């Protein structure tokens, strides 16, 4: 009997071609699991933003976020674009460009964190009482999104580090390009980033229309 | 793994298509990689071992939660008496042998929490989804075995934190399993001892449990959707698989709302925000919390809380449907109707949460909307009940232990369901809210009924799980004593209308002093139920090691794929290729006998 690793390889390489499986949605189950987890994460933020709307219907103190806040969507759009390109470059075996795009995506993520941090500090400087519910919601929404992003940054860092470490080993790179597990990992990672980036666009618009 | 030398082939020749590798399969693992005790039993990625881990952890919590109920039942039955053993057991929480009010509330809170989440969600879905999904759909394992293992270990961590909270100085959480603010929104133990560290640990534990449920749920759904063997179309899935997938969908969509409530509540507690708190006065002093809404918490909580009821009961429904069909030797009546009914329950289940909040001052118009949706759920529930009864009707019934638990489930589901119609009506609910009538309703329909589904599953799939049989006589005693005593516990509570829940003692109220004897009868019956569970426990663990070995590959004569695996399947489940499926899961008593799902259709044979 094969061990578990072999089953995973088997799942990745042949069984999801659909030839000997009943496949309702033609994609790898782990990718499907990512889509379902995106639904779950969406529900979490829908609950948070619905709670805000519920509260807003009772009494509400509006305030304008610091100007830096308005730059945050640019960084997430850039991040998504870079990762989208990176996946394509990987599939076409352009590893040097792939690494550079990953690095730029990492930098854009760090830039986004910095923008969020200074936005947060800017609100602190307004000296709103932490018991002002609108300010508290602002913090919580940003914090929860940042925690999701942190998971993405960690995974991105691992992928970039692996790619950077093998930069002089062309054979390793060629082996990887035909390894569907590796392609899958990069696709799932990109998918997650598209999600957290898109999520921020939703949260940004939500805050924009409810606070200003 | 114990050496089981029997190598049975097909025992019932009329049952076509038995796959002939019914021998102990564990040794095959060793050919390819050495497994240590740690990788095989502790950090296992085999779905079957993970399911056993969920089951045994669930059993552990069922006994802890059950024992807690006995302690508070003693207090309710004999509030003036003292029980010296309680002081020995609980120390200063029961000085002089009488349960303190603080600890009474802690017991009620932890009893509710662990039974709902750890036993009937983790123990039920965790066990059977892990065990049955790959085996019944024809897969080697879950889509992500690693995520599956993590799911269990998050559950274990949640259990560890909750268990630890029982031993801290200020005691465990004691503000009710619903954890409503403002009581639970502040860490001020002057108000309630259980609002201190105990409640922080409660929140941590529940958050870990939510992560566990989400990891498990993602895996269950993606495995069912994309890992089915050839021929196992969605319309050929056994109902239990549909049920487990629906429960997972509910969990994946509803648990995040509870997580958001937990996050906001922890912010209120630790960082002094005011999401749920407003104008709180303690000891004559007005606290600075301003602008929050405790009702908001209730909305977030019940958005999960009500679907949670279905997360618990739908897997039990699925188990009962399939086990009943096997032991009635009849196809399940109305497969599609069963399926659509479950789907309807899942969908409508998302629009009924506020029926728990009729007395919060909500608009009566809104109340009526929620009442309509609530009463609508009676329709698919009734369809399912009808179909179970018609499955039994004129069946070739084999009154085995799992079958008896299935029949018991239907009885309990009807009894508990009928009272749900009362409570779903705002005008009636205003009278009955927070009374023993409610306690009776939900214990029967989602407590005892769900347990019956779970037991039906344990007794039915035990031979596949452990390669041995459970003792039948002990099983019958377990069923009959539990069936009679559980009704004795909860049925009389319907007549205690007006008795408020969660009271430590009723002796100060002349109105409630009339039913002392009934309280005593209920408590005695509760002890009898618990004794029957000890019998189950002995039977369960004894049978794992010393039970009668399974010698037939398919001891119940079932048609589903798990019985085509070896008696003790190794990791990967099937030795060679995974069987192909050619028919649905309910071809019992056909003109060709009982036909397994993997048996090709004969020429001219019509599919169901």
- What's the pLDDT score for residue A4? 45
A24 contacts B291? CB cut-off 8 A: no
- What's the pLDDT score for residue B420? 95
- What's the pLDDT score for residue B35? 77
Q: Each residue of B260-311: pLDDT tens digit? A: 999 999 999 998 899 999 888 888 888 888 888 999 999 999 998 999 999 9
Per-residue pLDDT averaged across B511-524, rounded?
Answer: 86
Facing A131 at nearest CB: one of B233, B256, B274? B274
In this complex, is the C-beta atom of A154 within 8 Å of any C-beta atom belonging to chain B?
Answer: no
Cβ proximity of B126 and B156 under 8 Å? no
Residue numbers of B between 133 and 152 with CB closer than 8 Å to A: 140-141, 143-145, 147
The C-alpha atoms of residue A90 and residue A183 are separated, in whole angstroms, by: 8
Q: What angle do CA A24, A30, A35 make, to 5 degrees?
A: 75
Q: Where are the domains of chain B?
A: 46-564
Facing A136 at nearest CB: one of B143, B274, B293? B274
The C-alpha atoms of residue A115 and residue A135 are separated, in whole angstroms, by: 17
Q: Which residues of A touch B222 (CB under 8 A)?
A: 29-30, 32-33, 36
The C-alpha atoms of residue B557 and residue B552 are separated, in whole angstroms, by: 9
Instruction: Give A170 to chain B, closest Cα distance, Å.
Output: 30
Query: From residue B245, how far is each of A192, B216, B239 by CA, in Å?
Result: 23, 11, 10
- What's the pLDDT score for residue A165? 84
Q: Which residues of B touch A181 (CB under 8 A)?
A: none
Among B43, B186, B222, pick the best mutation site for testing chain A contact (most A Cβ within 10 A).
B222
The C-alpha atoms of residue B387 and residue B385 are separated, in whole angstroms, by: 5
A50 is written with which tokens? 């619905």
Mean pLDDT, chain A, integer: 85
Q: Each residue of B394-434: pLDDT tens digit? A: 999 999 999 999 999 999 999 999 999 999 999 999 999 99
Per-residue pLDDT averaged across B544-554, rounded?
Answer: 96
Cβ proximity of A70 and B279 under 8 Å? no
Looking at the predicted structure, is the pLDDT value of residue B501 above 70?
A: yes
Looking at the predicted structure, is the pLDDT value of residue A140 above 90?
A: yes
Q: Each residue of B347-386: pLDDT tens digit? A: 999 999 999 999 999 998 999 999 999 999 999 999 999 9
Looking at the predicted structure, is the pLDDT value of residue B176 above 60?
A: yes
B250 is written with which tokens? 């509910």
Q: Which one has a higher pLDDT value, B151 or B21?
A: B151
B275 contacts A136? CB cut-off 8 A: yes
pLDDT grade for B33, boundaries at 50, 70 and 90 = low
Among B252, B264, B291, pick the best mutation site for testing chain A contact (most A Cβ within 10 A).
B291
Facing B218 at nearest CB: one of A8, A23, A36? A36
Per-residue pLDDT averaged across A142-152, rounded?
Answer: 93
pLDDT grade for B250, boundaries at 50, 70 and 90 = very high
Proportion of chain B above pLDDT 70, given as a percent: 94
B392 is written with which tokens? 């039994």
Looking at the predicted structure, is the pLDDT value of residue A115 above 80?
A: yes
- What's the pLDDT score for residue A166? 79
Burial class (CB in 10 A: 0-12, 13-18, 19+), B231: middle
Q: What angle do CA A28, A29, A35 make, to 5 degrees?
A: 100
ipTM: 0.89
Looking at the predicted structure, is the pLDDT value of residue A2 above 70?
A: no
- What's the pLDDT score for residue A56? 84
Cβ proximity of A193 and A83 under 8 Å? yes
In this complex, is the C-beta atom of A125 within 8 Å of any C-beta atom belonging to chain B?
Answer: no
Pick the CATH number of B46-564 from 1.10.10.10, 1.20.210.10, 3.40.50.150, 1.10.3720.10: 1.20.210.10
- What's the pLDDT score for residue B385? 97
Q: What angle do CA B160, B161, B167 make, to 5 degrees?
A: 95
Which residues, including other chains, have CB under 8 Å from residue B177's CB and lie 6 or more apart?
A: B108, B109, B111, B112, B113, B116
Q: For residue A170, count other CB atoms closer than 10 A to its CB.
A: 11
B308 is written with which tokens? 């949670």
Q: Which residues of A touch B39 (CB under 8 A)?
A: none
Domains of chain A: 30-211 (1.20.120.80)
- What's the pLDDT score for residue B417? 96
Per-residue pLDDT averaged across A164-178, rounded?
Answer: 74
């Amino acid at each position: 009997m094969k061990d578990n690793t072999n089953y995973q390889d088997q799942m990745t390489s042949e069984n999801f071609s659909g030839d000997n499986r009943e496949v309702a949605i033609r994609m790898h189950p782990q990718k499907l699991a990512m889509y379902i987890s995106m639904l779950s994460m969406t529900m979490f933020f829908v609950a948070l933003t619905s709670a805000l709307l519920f509260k807003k219907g009772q009494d509400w103190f509006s305030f304008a976020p610091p100007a830096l806040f308005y730059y945050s969507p640019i960084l997430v759009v850039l991040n998504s674009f870079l990762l989208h390109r990176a996946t394509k470059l990987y599939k076409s075996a352009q590893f040097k460009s792939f690494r550079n795009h990953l690095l730029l995506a990492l930098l854009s993520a760090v830039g986004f964190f910095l923008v969020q941090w200074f936005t947060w500090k800017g609100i602190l400087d307004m000296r709103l009482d932490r018991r002002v519910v609108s300010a508290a919601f602002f913090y919580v929404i940003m914090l929860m999104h940042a925690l999701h992003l942190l998971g993405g940054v960690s995974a991105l860092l691992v992928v970039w580090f692996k790619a950077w470490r093998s930069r002089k080993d062309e054979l390793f790179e060629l082996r990887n390009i035909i390894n569907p597990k590796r392609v899958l990992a990069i696709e799932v990672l990109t998918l997650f980033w598209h999600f957290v980036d898109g999520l921020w666009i939703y949260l940004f618009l939500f805050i924009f229309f409810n606070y200003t | 793994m114990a050496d089981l030398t029997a190598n049975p082939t097909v025992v019932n020749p009329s049952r076509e298509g038995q796959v002939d590798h019914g021998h102990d399969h564990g040794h095959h693992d060793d050919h390819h990689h050495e497994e240590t005790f740690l990788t095989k039993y502790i950090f296992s990625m085999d779905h079957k071992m993970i399911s056993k881990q969920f089951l045994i952890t669930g059993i552990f919590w069922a006994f802890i939660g059950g024992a807690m109920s006995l302690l508070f039942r003693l207090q309710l039955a004999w509030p003036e008496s003292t029980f010296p053993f309680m002081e020995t057991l609980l120390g200063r929480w029961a000085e002089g042998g009488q349960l303190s009010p603080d600890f009474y509330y802690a017991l009620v809170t932890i009893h509710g929490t662990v039974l709902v989440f750890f036993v009937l969600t983790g123990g039920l879905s965790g066990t059977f989804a892990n065990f049955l999904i790959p085996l019944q759909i024809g897969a080697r394992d879950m889509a992500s075995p690693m995520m599956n293992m993590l799911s269990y270990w998050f559950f274990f961590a949640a259990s560890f934190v909750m268990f630890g909270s029982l031993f801290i100085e200020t005691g465990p959480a004691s503000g009710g399993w619903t954890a409503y603010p403002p009581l639970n929104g502040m860490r001020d133990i002057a108000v309630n001892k259980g609002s201190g560290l105990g409640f922080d640990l409660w929140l941590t534990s529940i958050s870990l449990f939510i992560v566990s449920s989400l990891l498990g749920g993602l895996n269950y759904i993606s495995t069912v959707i994309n890992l089915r063997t050839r021929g196992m179309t969605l319309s050929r899935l056994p109902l239990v698989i549909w049920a487990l997938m629906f429960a997972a969908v509910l969990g994946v969509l509803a648990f995040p709302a509870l997580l958001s409530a937990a996050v906001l509540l922890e912010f209120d507690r630790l960082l002094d925000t005011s999401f749920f708190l407003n104008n709180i006065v303690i000891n004559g002093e007005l606290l600075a919390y301003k602008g929050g809404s405790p009702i908001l918490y209730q909305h977030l909580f019940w958005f999960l809380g009500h679907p949670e009821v279905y997360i618990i009961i739908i897997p039990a429904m699925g188990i009962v449907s399939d086990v009943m069909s096997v032991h009635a030797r009849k196809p399940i009546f109305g497969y599609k109707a069963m399926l659509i009914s479950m789907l309807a329950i899942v969908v409508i289940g998302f629009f009924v949460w506020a029926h728990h909040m009729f007395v919060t001052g909500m608009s009566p118009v809104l109340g009526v909307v929620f009442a309509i949706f609530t009463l609508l759920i009676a329709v698919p529930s009734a369809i399912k009940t009808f179909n179970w009864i018609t499955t039994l009707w004129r069946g070739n019934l084999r009154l085995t232990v799992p079958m008896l638990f299935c029949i018991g489930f239907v009885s309990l589901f009807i009894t508990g369901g009928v009272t749900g119609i009362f409570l779903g009506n705002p005008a009636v609910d205003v009278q009955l809210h927070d009374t023993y009538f409610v306690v009776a309703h939900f214990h029967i329909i989602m407590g005892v009924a769900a347990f019956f589904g779970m037991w039906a599953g344990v007794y039915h799939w035990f031979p596949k799980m452990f390669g041995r049989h459970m003792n039948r006589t002990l099983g019958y005693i377990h069923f009959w004593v539990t069936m009679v005593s559980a009704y004795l516990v909860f049925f009389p509570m319907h007549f205690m209308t007006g008795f408020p829940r969660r009271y430590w003692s009723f002796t100060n109220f002349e109105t409630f002093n009339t039913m002392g004897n009934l309280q005593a009868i209920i408590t005695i019956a509760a002890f009898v139920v618990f004794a029957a569970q000890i019998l189950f426990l002995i039977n369960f663990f004894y049978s794992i090691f010393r039970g009668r070995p399974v010698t037939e590959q398919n001891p119940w004569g079932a048609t589903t794929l798990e019985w085509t695996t070896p008696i003790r399947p190794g990791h990967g489940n099937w030795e060679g290729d995974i069987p192909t499926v050619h028919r649905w899961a309910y071809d019992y008593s056909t003109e060709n006998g009982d036909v397994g799902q993997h048996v090709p259709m004969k020429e001219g044979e019509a599919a169901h």
